[in-house]
Amino acid sequence: MTEKADLTSIDVTAVLDRAAAGGRITPQEALVLYRDAPLHALGAAADAVRRRKYAGTEHIATYIIERNINYTNVCVTACKFCAFYAAPKDKDKGWTRDLDDILRRCAETVELGGTQIMFQGGHHPDYGVEYYEKHFAAIKKEFPQLVIHSLGASEVEHMARISGVSVEEAITRIHAAGLDSFAGAGAELLPERPRKAIAPLKESGERWLEIMEIAHRLGVESTSTMLMGTGETNAERIEHLRMIREVQDRTGGFRAFIPYTYQPENNHLKGRTQATLFEYLRMIAIARLFLDNVQHIQGSWLTTGKEVGQLSLHYGADDLGSIMLEENVVSSAGARHRSNRMEIIDLIRKAGRVPAQRSTTYEHLVVHDDPANDPVDERVMSHISSTAIEGGTAHPELKLLASN
């Protein structure tokens, strides 16, 4: 499907009505809605689907408290949009964290009420399956209550290659060591043209999906993501959704879909524009309508700002993602939005929803239905380390708990 395909026979209003009523729409219809439907009507249709999907709890919007633990920025894959990585030969910029450091970060996460860690880093030339087995096992031994929702198909492909094993074996081993679920990392854009343009050394989009499908069949669920705004067409965005929906029809293993916008600083794609905030909201809405087999659509305020995150809850999103106690990857590329738990609760409430802290698998852990009982701990806030702020050359030190 291309932007130029003859889509003139598609009736926007009729398709929107069918989608709002729960009917499945084709990729061609999705493209027409994404491109041409009035924004407010698209949002209303997506919200109608969300309300029906969450009948009984449609008044709730969720968030999670987690921490990204970036174990290394050393990476051989050199994605052009990435402002985080250091090439192995760039000894001044590259860093790795040792296990004690990682465990200390886990301890801080538990102390602040976080329930999930996202282990995220570069494709280090020496890190095979054994590295992840050792670290996940150590984390689970010390902090069995922490859910390890981490990595993705790209890391699996890389670690399997380094260790000389199949991806099936790699997934089975890291799952046994403690990995609970895969984050949707590395999906970027799945169609071939835009993927090659921004991540030429990464596995293909088909391979990314194949590995996710293997993981789902091995009992490891995941989320799915999309990086918007690096020069892809509308048709390629919809093709990305089509590829996810097709796998999901077979496995049901994608818990959520999370689009986020490209951040343009400090990378090799200078000059490319970000997706507009309207395009982002349209994507949230079309994802809710087109991905009828994916339960959760996550709005992101980290890259789009709090107001847009809030609006996303009226465009089909049921979840506002995480208060990340530490984040360095998109922050390195320019994302500067910060918030704390009280602000996120307030933001959700002012969007007309009841906020609820959730688990990785979307159970409601705390429902904030009475403002008088709201948590008041200002330390539970999203944060970036000195690496992201200063483009740091030293091992980053988290300042979050400096006041402790």
Q: Report the candidate in 71, 66, 87, 62 with the shortest Cα–Cα distance to residue 329.
A: 71
CB of 127 to ligand SF4, least distance (A): 12
Tell me how far apart the alpha carbons of residues 295 and 259 are, in angstroms, rounded to a whole number. 14
- Please count the other Cβ atoms lying within 10 Å of the Cβ belonging to residue 372: 4
Residues 343-371 as b or e (16 or more Cβ within 10 Å = b): bbbbbbbebebbbbbbebeeeeeeebeee
CB of 189 to ligand SF4, least distance (A): 12
- Cβ-based nearer residue to ligand SF4, 77 or 304: 77
- Cβ-based nearer residue to ligand SF4, 81 or 136: 81
Q: Is 35 exposed, middle or buried (0-12, 13-18, 19+ CB in 10 A)?
A: middle
- Cβ-based nearer residue to ligand SF4, 84 or 119: 84
Kindly give the pairing relationship between strand 354-358 and strand 364-367. Answer: antiparallel
- Cβ-based nearer residue to ligand SF4, 85 or 132: 85
- Cβ-based nearer residue to ligand SF4, 85 or 301: 85
Tell me how far apart the alpha carbons of residues 308 and 289 are, in angstroms, rounded to a whole number. 19
CB of 85 to ligand SF4, least distance (A): 4
CB of 80 to ligand SF4, least distance (A): 8
Tell me how far apart the alpha carbons of residues 27 and 134 are, in angstroms, rounded to a whole number. 43
CB of 245 to ligand SF4, least distance (A): 24
> Cβ neighbours of residue 109 under 8 Å, at least 6 residues apart?
66, 67, 117, 143, 146, 325
Q: Are 53 and 21 in contact (CB under 8 A)?
A: no
- Cβ-based nearer residue to ligand SF4, 114 or 186: 186
CB of 298 to ligand SF4, least distance (A): 19
Q: Interface with ligand SF4 by CB under 6 A: which residues?
A: 75, 77-79, 82, 84-85, 122-123, 154
CA 358, 363, 365, 370 torsion-angle sign: positive
CB of 92 to ligand SF4, least distance (A): 17
- Cβ-based nearer residue to ligand SF4, 14 or 201: 201
